[in-house]
Structure 1
Amino acid sequence: MNKKVVVIGGGYGGLRAIEFLAQQSDMDVTLIDKHPYHYLQTEAYGYIAGRFDLHDVVIDLQDWCNGFKKKVTFIYDNVQSVDFEAQSVALCDGAISYDYLIIATGAKTNFFSFIEGLREHSFGVKSLHRAHNFRVEFENLLYKKLQNEETQEINLVIGGAGLSGVEVAAEMANVVEVYKKTIGSRINSVKIYLIDASETILPGMSDFLINSTHKRVEALGVNILTNAFIEKLDDNFIYFKNQEALKYHFMIFTGGIKASDLNECIDVKKNKISQFITDSMLNIAQKKNVFAIGDCVEIRDASGKILPPTAQSAERSAEYAAESIRKRIDNKTIAPFDAKVLGVFIALGGNWASGELFGVIKVKGYSAYLLKKAITYAYYLGLRLRINTGYKNRIKKP
């Protein structure tokens, strides 16, 4: 009898795990997600600035699963809890049993409770609906500028100067620059602010990435505020701990993440942002048949260093978990998880990027943009080919 493998979460990690698991003839694979789509969060910067359309950042999970020709079942439902002893996943509509389980539920924006008014007055980019709401606000603002209906100075603020924050700030600033050709000097009253409490943008990244990104973002006209501690927000102002205030139109917050809601329902060891703390083989609850991967986990390499919550980390942990399931079924030895960040590419507005590969190769400008685009396109093409197969399978049904 085939082993039942359940994957919770259709993000980067969940989909990568299924790509491997679906090739195993002795496994029946089920994907569960509370959304009917996969959201390419790494492309959020382009979507909210209007460079990409909706079809560029989402794919239909049902058609994607259909592309595996009945090897993968998709369940569009919300997971309520997991019973590790009964090996069962409770859904809003019923339950499903498993032999092996991979939890890949990702993370959401952490609107820090100690910043008064942050959740009420800012947008996130971790969820599609928040990114979409911001895109609508941004496009409405540009439209009003075009119609000369909005004449006052407008400050658009990105809180958090990590990877997502600088990409959003750079793309928005580039869009503002492009619009000078149609809106003219009226667009000059739109100002972009990038704010972070750290001493520099991209805290924790290499000097090359920090310096090249800083120069590019400044050249685009972004106002960079570091060592800036936000105390509270109201409808009109951002207040800093040094008693200064910044009038703003709207704000995107990318300053932190928190594990998904499901983590709160599972009584296992977690860190202060609710990420699971696994053993060296990415198992939780002392269950060798339960794996947790991606942003819902505090992932460490073999030396104990925490890996950044990126799509790359999610995919590496997914590959490890999927291969570990194969080895457990075959009674083979499993080595502890170990992965490194192989490279980082940062989209910085228009046809410009900055990146590193293997810590040795350093590129910036158009060449880095081409490399990032090639990597993204390869991932997107793989998803699209699978969807096309699934769509054709669906329309053949009577």
Structure 2
Amino acid sequence: MGDRARGPAGASRYGPPHVVILGAGYAGFAVARGLGAAPARVTLVNPYSYHYFTTLLHEPVARPRQRERVALPLAPYLPPNVRLWLGRATAIDPRRRVVEVEDRATGARRRLQADLLVVAVGSEPLFFGIAGLEERALTVRDLSSGPLIRSTVEHHLARYAAGEMGPEGRRIVIGGGGYTGVELAAELAEVRHDLARATGVAPGAIEIYLVEAAPTLLPGFDPPLVRYVTRFLERVGVRVITGTPIAEVTPRHVILADGRRLEAGTVIWTGGVRAHRLVEQAGFEVDKRGRALVERDLAARGCEGVYLAGDAAAFPGDDGRPLPPTAQVALQQGEYLARALTRRLRGQPVEPFRPHLLGTVISLGRRDGVGLLRNGYRVTGRAARVLKSATLWRYLYRIGGVPLVARVMGGASLQPLP
């Protein structure tokens, strides 16, 4: 990546203002891309040289080669005034706008002084204190998740076929029936025959359970579409359990609150997220999920010049509850902050952030899905699946225009990965 991937020499009191962005997820990447015309020098701190699409992280579980198509190299799409520093933020002093960063290449820790600081460090799994869950469950959280889940499932199935594991070796339990859990269950069901061929297990012997504590899957989602999703999953052989939370995970069992014990070799947790713990550790005023409370312009309460976006921010919607931690919310907040900070740096007034939620689309494998659009219109089947792909094309178009979209539609890899 050349000079753009190296860390800065440090903040200077001279020259243009220094904007520091922590994280290159949907929000942080959008802020960085939108500051090209700002009278500032910008440092984007991220552990990796790529940006990945969190809404697609379930796909490489079923199709491992998809891993190279759910990530995008950062450097080619950053403006000239943005420097990418490959490192991980380890501490934040929001009142002084100082960030401690661990350099990825050397492990050395250095401090960055910002004139304006954007915290977009994303989320991490929330385990709700369930005994054994954090220690024994896999999660869907980054590019390593898909290959790890796939290899774990195949390893356990192969051991079951060889007589080295009992019934738990052929059973997969997914905890959490929200968007990710539903999409992951559908993907695994779709590749059941592939898993069987690879491991020597009969397809019918591979069991997939989806457990949700709420009375239905997709809590809070449109009821007719919830029924569609539930029927779809049951039709493809997923065993859906609702209204019963997981109480404990042992080396061989998932124990439900009603006393049922499911023998399970592979446990995957998709049951909730919280803001990255760095947000709470920094001393921001946070909600019960560790998200910082922010003003209408996404400014941190009581911290001048500090802003939060994406999963790190608790921004109230029209109903007073924080907006959900979705990609479209994070993207809109990032694009807003880029415009707002540019105006602030020019001494111009700033309007408050106003979200425009476009609806929700959920994929059910490669050929089915459901969607609820902003006008209340429901979409199901192949049309919904095409719409899910279209949201990716639209996002890529905003980043790299027609050439980038053409690469994806042509089947090219976006990011070669180890």
Q: Quickly say closer, same or farther: Cα 1:65–1:184, change in 2 above 3 A.
A: closer
**Equivalences, count:** 383
Q: Quickly say closer, same or farther: Cα 1:40–1:265, change in 2 above 3 A.
A: same
> Unaligned stretches of 5+ in structure 1?
389-398
**What does residue 147 of structure 2 align with?**
132
1:7 and 2:45 are equivalent in the alignment: no
Counterpart selection for 1:268 from 284, 297, 315: 284
Relative to structure 2, which stretch is displaced further, 84-93 or 169-178? 84-93
1:180-191 residue pairs with structure 2 within 5 A?
186-191=202-207
**What does residue 257 of structure 2 align with?**
241
Counterpart selection for 2:135 from 110, 120, 132: 120
Q: 1:31 deviation in Å?
A: 0.5
Deviations 1:245-264 (A, max 9, x none): 11112111011112113113
Q: 1:209 deviation in Å?
A: 2.6
Counterpart selection for 2:84 from 64, 67, 74: 74
1:41 and 2:54 are equivalent in the alignment: yes
Q: 1:180 deviation in Å?
A: 6.7
The secondary structure found in structure 1 opposite 2:292 is: coil
| TM-score where L is the length of structure 2 | 0.84
Relative to structure 2, which stretch is displaced further, 236-245 or 182-191? 182-191
Counterpart selection for 1:307 from 323, 344, 350: 323
Counterpart selection for 1:30 from 43, 51, 64: 43
Counterpart selection for 1:225 from 237, 241, 249: 241
Q: Quickly say closer, same or farther: Cα 1:177–1:383, change in 2 above 3 A.
A: farther
Deviations 1:178-218 (A, max 9, x none): 66788898111001100011000000111233122112111
**What does residue 204 of structure 1 align with?**
220
Q: Take 1:2 and 1:167, find their aligned partners in 2: how far apart are those partners?
A: 46
The secondary structure found in structure 2 opposite 1:319 is: helix
Q: Quickly say closer, same or farther: Cα 1:350–1:66, change in 2 above 3 A.
A: closer
> Unaligned stretches of 5+ in structure 2?
1-14, 103-108, 405-418
Q: Quick check: 2:161–2:201 contact (8 Å CA) kept in 1?
A: no
Deviations 1:283-341 (A, max 9, x none): 11423421100011222224423221111111111122222212222333333322142
Q: Quick check: 1:352–1:368 contact (8 Å CA) kept in 2?
A: yes
**What does residue 194 of structure 1 align with?**
210
Q: Take 1:149 and 1:383, find their aligned partners in 2: how far apart are those partners?
A: 49
Q: Take 1:25 and 1:263, find their aligned partners in 2: how far apart are those partners?
A: 26
Relative to structure 2, which stretch is displaced further, 188-197 or 28-37? 28-37
Relative to structure 2, which stretch is displaced further, 372-381 or 345-354? 372-381
The secondary structure found in structure 2 opposite 1:281 is: coil
Q: Quickly say closer, same or farther: Cα 1:51–1:209, change in 2 above 3 A.
A: farther
Aligned-residue CA RMSD (Å): 2.7
Q: Quickly say closer, same or farther: Cα 1:224–1:147, change in 2 above 3 A.
A: same
Counterpart selection for 2:190 from 158, 167, 174: 174
Q: Quickly say closer, same or farther: Cα 1:274–1:69, change in 2 above 3 A.
A: closer
Relative to structure 2, which stretch is displaced further, 277-286 or 378-387? 378-387
Relative to structure 2, which stretch is displaced further, 159-168 or 353-362? 353-362
Counterpart selection for 1:354 from 370, 373, 390: 370
Q: Take 1:8 and 1:330, find their aligned partners in 2: how far apart are those partners?
A: 22
Deviations 1:355-397 (A, max 9, x none): 1221322111111111111221343466577999xxxxxxxxx
**What does residue 377 of structure 1 align with?**
393
Q: Quickly say closer, same or farther: Cα 1:149–1:349, change in 2 above 3 A.
A: farther
Deviations 1:36-95 (A, max 9, x none): 3323221111112235432122233xxx22443632101111213233343322223312
